[in-house]
Amino acid sequence: MNQPREGFLGQDAALELSVNGGTVRVASPPATRLADVLRDELGLTGTKIGCNAGDCGACTVLLDGRQVCSCLTAVAQAAGRNVTTVEGLAADGRLSDLQASFQKHGAAQCGICTPGMLMAAADLLARTAAPDEAEVKDALGGVLCRCTGYQKIIEAVLDVASGPRPDLPPAAGAAVGARAAKVDGIARVTGEERFGADDIPDDALWLRVIRSPHHHASFRLGDLDAVVKRTPGLERILTAKDVPSNGFGIYPHIKDQPVLADGEARFRGEAVLALVGKREAIETFDEATLPIEYVPLPPVMGLDAAMAPGAPLVLPDRPGNLLQDGGVRKGDAAAAFASCAAVAEGRFETAFVEHAYIEPEAGWARRVGKGRNARLEIHVTTQTPYMDRDEMAVVMKLKPTQVHIVPTACGGGFGGKLDMSVHPLVGLAAWLTGKTVACVYTRPESMASTTKRHPARVHAKFGCDASGRLLACEVDAEFDTGAYASWGPTVATRVPIHATGPYMVPNVRTRGRGFFTHCHPAGAFRGFGVPQGAIAHEAVMDELADKLGIDRLEFRLRNALKAGDATATGQVLEHSAGLGECLERLRPHWQRAQEEIAAFNAGSANLRRGVGIGCMWYGIGNTSLSNPSTMRIGVSKSGVVTLYSGALDIGQGSNTILTQIAADAAGLPMSTIRLVTGDTDLTADAGKTSASRQTFVSGKATELAALDLRKKLFAAANAPEGEYLDYRYKLAIEGNGKAAQIVIRRDGITHRVPLKKDILGEGYFDPPTSPADADGQGVPYASYAFAAQIAEVEVDLELGTTRVLRIVAAHDVGRAINPIQVEGQIQGGTVQGLGLALMEEYLPGRTENLHDYLIPTIGDVPHMECILVEDPEPLGPYGAKGVGEPGLIPTAPAILGAIENATGVRMRQVPVLPHRLRAALGAPA
Amino acid sequence: MSEYLRPTQFEEALRLLARGPYAILAGGTDHYASRVGKPLTEPILDVTAIRGLREIAERADHWRIGAAATWTDLLEASLPPQFDGLRLAAREIGGVQIQNSGTLAGNICNASPAADGVPALLALDAGVELSRTGHVRVVPLAQFILGPRKTQRCSDELVSAILVPKSEFEARSHFVKLGARKYLVISIAMASAVIEHSAGVVFKARVAVGACSPVAVRLAALEDALRGRPMNARLPELVHAEHLAPLLPIDDVRASAGYRTGAALTLVKRAIAGACA
Ligand SMILES: Cc1cc2nc3c(=O)[nH]c(=O)nc-3n(C[C@H](O)[C@H](O)[C@H](O)COP(=O)(O)OP(=O)(O)OC[C@H]3O[C@@H](n4cnc5c(N)ncnc54)[C@H](O)[C@@H]3O)c2cc1C
Ligand code: FES
Ligand code: FES
């Protein structure tokens, strides 16, 4: 280790450190966080900041070869020492073995945690060349990943010793179904990928949001101009009055959330003012000196308060605090219950759940052009550029074409980046000041102000005949939607449709209602309420099976929806309903688990093991609404093939999957296809990255676009009409620049024509649905995903702690276009489901950071085995449907069933924190 | 720009500190974590460059853990089994990043009720060495921490070391932490036990519990009950609910008070069992 400097360091001594082998002098003050110096002064933005509190590990670097959090290290403490960042891993432009292994194994999804993971792993591997799994977990335990479920990361680190190389990209015609590495993966393992906070122009002004400290308060503002005048570097303070149309929201007819609160704050963390100015000026500004006079008002917190007769109204135009009341009715449930041999029911409760993507919201905006040609350009981390564009147009009273959204890489979304966050604030500030304005949320403000999963209370009652066939179902679900609607209506309609579970039930009455409270809005989160509903229906399935003495898996198999069955909405499933096969494939695991567990429990007193099973179904895409995608793929005159995709890859892999589809449909190798994604000036609207729809909807549009291109290229080459569908004709684009040619070969005969102009193929797909009638009958979705998972757990009876030992997940995905990505989605979703079941509970004002709000770490995840069932969906590209959300849905039910199996106690409230389970188990023996 | 001092000489550090007040900075894992989104303006005295302060050394009748010694330093030092409990605690501090930067001294000075180092050091009967120019005093750890975030340290004093007396007889120890997840977790409760034994009999036992009272506490009645008993697998059976009377657990986001009491009983038994194993 280098010797510390002689004497002591005063404020004017410049610091010298070695970064990635080169010496640098640093001008930042000595107490500055090393992370900030690396990013802001040295431009090494590969090091990420997810929390500034040591909780996420995204900022991990090596200091003299040891992993440390650079957000907790004063730059002065790195003086005279060696700092290694992710940018220092690849030597001479060649990926290190570790980076190559991450790329090969699909260990990076969104990539925001990847630099931290790589540095922690590099530290380990420098000390232990061939570590075991426990050592890998210990070494990486300080870095959180919200996307992958960690398993592929562990596999990647364990595989380094074998000197991995990413496989070559698949050949033309062999892309679909291949375990192809991510087409945009390299930038994620080198640290070059640019996320929301990584590309902020140096001359940008910064924006800081002042937020309500009260759940509910009215407020008056004093003389803000005087504050601006007396504060050097502060240029402007934005208030509600500055917003041209101060309301935004997901639904065209519900724009209820103000950009800046107007005299009344309806949740703790709601934006009240925005300070715009020089970064240092606004960051050091003392918020307590602002003339804001709050009068705290009694808040409506929780469903009981919101539903109480005479409850104060959160929004004046919402009587009874009711957002929406939806439901489905089929047959006569009440009458059918009378003839049931067995009936079971229960009431289940879930909490607010935070998305906890590792990248906090960030972005910047500028005004481009003058007068009538002026446009607003916003660079932002998002899941939905086109909806952002349209929402910004509403707020700013501009035409949508005057707004240009340039998505940055997105460091995790899971539904949380479907709502606007920094966008209207930086957009408004840039528009009004004419300058570039940036904003990066801190972790606490990200958690306090953005959407959550809806807390739910679900009452479910099911009945079946003596042979175990379900006859009737009644479900009432209530959701806390917070202060504004956001995606609340989606949840309230989606849940009643899915409330039967993936089972054939002839008589159904279900209802979903959303209520307003003085909490942050609840919005979209992987599954839109369906995970909450699944906890209820799966618990009741277990109870019915037990009552009749039927095995829990067999009971589900008996009732599983299959092709030809009608759903609760009367939709007859024509194909691709593979739950039965999922269950069949799980059966051997189910039997093995039961035997192993019985053997273990026979010899154990305090530790008890159990196994549980959960099933789910999930309609792909928007509910009963059109949700089209348009995709384009072109060949430029100079021979470059480009896929123009408005579908955003937020880590789930759609860039790769769409490229695979485009390649095989066009008959070109994947490696020749470049990508342009997301930019609303360069692509067409492909809808949101949500509802598991990008592979199915945008994938189909991509297939059609690529076929259109192939057809046009065949026509340009004068190939016989119709032959473009014959893949024995091999297509290639050869040569480049002026010499670029279309080449078509078959049986030794070659057509060659020069490319005279750009040729563009376009595809459009809108999955066929029909609106619901008054009883909720109709075709809400064109396709459904199905899955079943089993979970094995171990409960410590004395402490009430639960460890998940293993998950086996069988998913009907239609067709796995890329099995690595599909497994990654399942594993990542499953671990979020584990968090929902066992540890995640967001309490407004009390858990606004990643040490009081707990998500699973690498040490909490079980071994996960994925079984991919491929019951093809004829509407989807190559038979594929969606997989983004299904991974999460069956996990919590399976874990809860396993806890019951282990202990005899059915937990009806999640998360099952140790003290809750301990209390439910009763006084210790 | 505010002052940032990084002395390399111990005496120099004490002289500067007298000019104070300064916020003392060691590993920074508590310091920076508690300043998210806040300006870093206060004057700082950084102790991590002071020569010799990171040393873990054996003295005639005690072990001396320098104030800048990190959790990783502790794990890599060669120490007798008396320290096994403290080392288990070290392994459970945050993740490796936190262990590489965070210091034992910072852990006790930060005086969090949930500090994992505190019960482990209480069970080692540790003392805290406080230095100011020309004066050194040693205070038992139990007296050093006054309450959450409050210690006996005066603003011109530096914690210079943690002193751990050598045990009279062979000592074994253990530490158990209970959290709602594996890594990076604030303890719901934790317990540590150090048992000195001779000829198969407990000569002296020290047992401490954390996160169940404003400051971690030793369980004197239990310690008395263990003394003179055979050191074997049945020792944990001597633990009774009354022994936990000194605990004052509260409800918080992590757990309920009632749960903590029950869990503490289990953890104490397991800590003793671990020390006997
Ligand atoms: C993500 C994360 C996880 C954590 N996990 C745990 C955990 O599991 N268990 C646990 O117990 N703690 C945990 N901590 C807390 C923290 O890491 C420990 O308390 C650590 O030991 C503090 O040491 P430090 O050197 O970093 O302290 P610093 O942050 O440098 O200082 C902490 C306090 O002590 C004072 N101080 C430091 N040294 C001296 C000195 N020589 N003389 C006088 N005053 C001094 C400082 O002024 C400051 O008030 C965690 C922290 C983070 C960020
Ligand atoms: S940013 Fe440093 S740990 Fe999260
Ligand atoms: S890949 Fe780990 S957080 Fe996204």
Tens of pLDDT along A639-648? Answer: 999 999 999 9
DSSP string, A392-411: HHHHHT--GGGEEEEE-B-S
- Output the pLDDT for position A9: 53
Q: Specify whether B150 is located in the same domain as B195.
A: no
**Domains (range + CATH), chain A:** 15-88 (3.10.20.30), 97-190 (1.10.150.120), 205-298+359-411+417-449 (3.30.365.10), 452-622+773-921 (3.30.365.10), 629-765 (3.30.365.10)
- Residue A53: per-residue pLDDT: 98
User: What are the residues whose beta carbons fall under 8 Å from the beta carbon of A208, sequence distance 6 or more?
Assistant: A274, A275, A282, A283, A285, A439
Query: β-strand A629-635 against A641-645: which pairing, if any?
Result: antiparallel
- Asked whether A412 lines ligand 3 (CB < 6 A), one says yes
Q: How many Å apart are CA A679 and CA A392, to the nearest integer?
A: 15
CB contact under 8 A, A914 and B266: no
Q: How open is the CA angle B129-B132-B135, to the nearest 5 degrees?
A: 80
- On whether both B174 and B149 belong to a single domain, the answer is no
Query: Does B110 share its domain with B143?
Result: yes
Buried b (16+ CB within 10 A) or exposed e, A572-610: ebebbbbbbbbbbbbeebbeebbeebeeebeeeeebbbb
Own/partner pairs for A714-722, CB < 8 Å, 24+ apart? A714/A744, A716/A742, A716/A753, A716/A755, A716/A756, A716/A759, A717/A742, A717/A744, A717/A751, A717/A752, A717/A753, A718/A751, A718/A753, A719/A744, A719/A751
- How many distinct structural domains can be found in chain B? 2
CA distance B169 to B205: 11
Statement to judge: residues B66 and B155 lie in one domain: yes
Give the range among A304-318, A806-820, A910-924, B152-166 with minimum mean pLDDT. Answer: A910-924
Q: Could you list the residue range(s) of the whole structural domain that residue B225 is in?
A: 170-276
Please tell me the number of the ligand nearest to residue A106's CA.
Answer: 3
Asked whether the predicted pLDDT for residue A3 surpasses 60, the reply is no
Which pLDDT score is estimated for A897? 98
Q: Which of B126, B142, B165 is the last residue before a domain boundary?
A: B165
Q: Are residues B141 and B179 in the same domain?
A: no
B181 vs A4: CB contact, 8 Å cut-off?
A: no
Q: Name residues whose C-beta falls within 8 Å of residue A784's C-beta, 6 or more positions apart in sequence.
A: A502, A573, A576, A577, A617, A618, A619, A620, A881
Test mutation, B2, B5, B6, chain A, max A CBs within 10 A? B6
Task: Retrieve residue A658's tokens.
Answer: 């769409």
What CATH number does the domain containing B263 carry? 3.30.390.50
Residue of B5, B14, B22, B30 best suited for mutating to test ligand 1, as the one with most atoms within 8 Å of CB: B30
Residue A281 has pLDDT above 50, yes or no: yes
For chains A and B, count residue pairs whose Cβ atoms are closer than 8 Å. 197
C-alpha atoms less than 13 angstroms from C-alpha of B58 in its C-beta half-sphere: 7
Which two structure tokens, joined as six digits, stand for B261? 């009491």
Dist CA A898 CA A213 (whole Å):
41
- What is the Å distance from ligand 1's center to B89 Cα? 14
pLDDT in tens, A450-482: 999 999 999 999 999 999 999 999 999 999 999
CB-based contacts of A360, cutoff 8 Å, min separation 6: A50, A197, A440, A441, A442, A443, A445, A446
Domain with residue B25: its CATH number is 3.30.465.10
Nearest CB to B4; choose among A29, A69, A141: A29
Strand order in the sheet with A15-19: A22-26, A15-19, A82-84, A60-63, A66-69
β strands within A234-350, DSSP E: 234-238, 264-265, 271-277, 292-296, 322-330, 342-349
- Of B114, B178, B95, B174, the closest CA to residue A859 belongs to B95
Residues of chain A neighbouring B29 (CB-CB closer than 8 A): 54, 69, 72
Q: Is residue B236 located within the same domain as residue B161?
A: no
The distance of Cα A302 from the centroid of its chain, to the nearest Å, equals 26
pTM for this model (two decimals): 0.97
ipTM: 0.98
Question: Which ligand 1 atom is at minimum distance from the Cα of B67?
Answer: 41
Both tokens of B156, joined, read 């011109």
Does residue B195 sit in the same domain as residue B227?
yes
> A-chain residues within 8 Å CB-CB of B4?
9-11, 29-31, 74, 76
Taking a C-beta distance cutoff of 8 angstroms, is the pair A69, B30 a contact? no
A166: its two tokens:
């990413």
Place of tokens 């109480």: A308
| End position of a domain, from candidates B165, B190, B224 | B165
Q: Do B143 and B178 fall into the same domain?
A: no
Ligand nearest to the CA of B188: 1
Q: Which of B165, B192, B210 is where one domain is finished? A: B165
Considering the domain architecture, whether residues B150 and B226 belong to the same structural domain is answered as: no
Q: Which ligand is nearest to the CA of A50?
A: 2
What is the pLDDT confidence band of residue A6, given thresholds at 50, 70 and 90?
very low
B208 and B146 in a common domain: no
Burial class (CB in 10 A: 0-12, 13-18, 19+), A349: middle
Percent pLDDT > 70 in chain A is 98
Contacts of B252 (CB under 8 A, 6+ apart): none
Does B191 share its domain with B156? no
- Residues B144, B26, single domain; the answer is yes
pLDDT computed for residue A13 by the predictor = 62
Which has the closest alpha carbon to A897: A784, A795, A787?
A: A795
Write the single-letter amino acid at A757: K
Looking at residue B1, its pLDDT comes to 56
For residue B20, the model assigns a pLDDT of: 84
Tell me the average pLDDT across B2-13: 95
Distance in Å, CA A54 to ligand 2 centroid: 4
Rounded Cα distance, A478 and A658, in Å: 38
pLDDT value at residue A14: 78
